[in-house]
Amino acid sequence: MPNLNPAERTPIPAAPVPGSPMGRTTAPPLGDPEAEFRAAGSGMAMADNSIFGRMEVMGRDRLDLLHRLSTNSLTGLPAGGAVSTVFVTDKGRIVDRVIISTRDDSLVLITSAGTESLLTHWIEKYTITENIRFKTVTDDTVMISLIGPRSISMFSLLIGAPLGENTSVSLAHEGVQLFVVRTKDARSDIANIIAEKAAAHRIVEMLSSLPGACWIGRRAYEGFRIASGIPASPGELNDTYNPFECGLRDLISFTKGCYIGQEVIARLDTYGKIRRHLACVASPAGPPGPLPLPMLKDGAEAGTLTSITEIPFDGKYLGLAVIRNDLAPGDTLAAGTTGMSVLITGTTSDT
């Protein structure tokens, strides 16, 4: 990973990164979100995801403590490893989904957008004598996501080394220091490239040289996320839901020792208490108001519409909803009394 000490960086203004969020650059919209959406589906897309949080965690107890606080197993995770996990409350509700990658002397965490402080405070709440330190580096770095195996394989050819599944690596290419984290699960195969903000223009040039790769903007990325059934904050990743309800069962270890919320998670699984699941939905129209929106089936409570795209793809708006387990693809739901209807098109979990 690049040196993240601000005092040792040269203050070179970063060039625009295509589709950059939060006004970090002045890049214009890319212009054809539907074509970009299709590129993401084909596995040849790149997105500026600098909006996501990035943290370094140091101290000798860093891995042991995070293992005891999250749902997945971190035991034995070697340097160069990467794993996705969920931090939950003592009631089993979601705090955040986090990618944890290891280096020789620290961990690198990729969080949801704007949740760095929330996660830090939550971990510190359960830190007693452990030696652990946090450093938020979101504003000092950029993060570009390579979406799909074709983009990842082309990047691997560029750097002359393969990127294994669920691994991380620090490397230098053409004078640019990069930290690359690849995670693959049932929902997606993404490699996140983290570098100092001053290197943004070099990274754009480097990645734009990949044959066939396409930069995508925020709207297309949101369409890809929703179509892939990837839960995000604030719609799905919040303390209203547990990991099962958001399709994150594969991020739970049922053989590790105790962790915060473990008793609730185990009880939900053992006794079949999971009543809702995450589903993909589609609608001919966008929502008439802000989300979340309650969903009804034949006048009865059916669930909640939690995410929806800003623009239609293939003539329809795509969304995610947390719905009752008895509902299935093909069912039509009403968005409260708004007159909007949604069709359940698929499920993203195995409850």
pLDDT of residue 213: 85
C-alpha 146/C-alpha 130 separation (Å) is 35
pLDDT of residue 349: 56
Largest CA distance in the chain: 62
Residue pair 319/279 in contact (Cβ under 8 Å)? The answer is no
pLDDT of residue 155: 96
- pLDDT tens profile 55-107: 999 999 999 999 999 999 999 898 999 999 999 999 999 999 999 999 989 99
pLDDT of residue 12: 27
Q: Which helix (H) or strand (E) holds 37?
A: helix 33-42
Q: Which fold has domain 14-226?
A: Gyrase A; domain 2 (3.30.1360)
Coil, strand or helix: which one is 129? coil
Coil, strand or helix: which one is 271? coil
- pLDDT tens profile 102-142: 998 999 999 999 999 999 999 999 999 999 999 999 999 99
Q: Omega into 18 within 30° of 0, i.e. cis?
A: no
Return the beta strands (E) in the chain as ranges: 45-48, 53-58, 82-88, 94-102, 107-111, 133-136, 141-147, 167-173, 176-184, 189-196, 214-216, 276-283, 293-297, 300-308, 317-324, 332-335, 341-347
Identical fold for domains 14-226 and 275-351, yes or no, is no
C-alpha 162/C-alpha 18 separation (Å) is 25
Coil, strand or helix: which one is 82? strand
Using CB atoms within 10 Å of the CB of residue 10, give its burial: 0 to 12 exposed, 13 to 18 middle, 19+ buried: exposed
How many other β-carbons are positioned within 10 Å of the β-carbon of residue 253?
Answer: 18
pLDDT of residue 292: 96
Q: What percent of the chain has pLDDT over 90?
A: 84
Per residue in 32-69, is it b (16+ CB within 10 Å) or e — as a string? ebeebbbbbbebbbbbbbbbbbbbbbebeebbebbbbb
Q: Which two tokens stand for residue 248?
A: 């994150």
pLDDT of residue 30: 60
pLDDT of residue 85: 98
Residue with tokens 């214009």: 28
Q: What is the pTM of this model?
A: 0.91
pLDDT of residue 42: 94
- For 275-351, the fitting CATH number among 2.40.30.110, 3.40.50.300, 3.30.70.360, 3.40.50.800 is 2.40.30.110
pLDDT of residue 144: 97
* Nearest C-alpha neighbor of 52 from the set 309, 237, 304: 237
Give 35's DSSP letter. H
| Residue stretches of the chain with pLDDT short of 50 | 1-29, 350-351
Vertex 254: Cα angle to 251 and 257 (nearest 5): 110
- Residue 7 sits at φ, ψ, to 5 deg, of -70, -20
Annotated domain spans of the chain: 14-226, 275-351
Residue pair 143/168 in contact (Cβ under 8 Å)? The answer is no
Calculated CA dihedral for residues 89, 70, 237, 22, nearest 10 degrees = 120
C-alpha 201/C-alpha 155 separation (Å) is 17
pLDDT of residue 342: 97
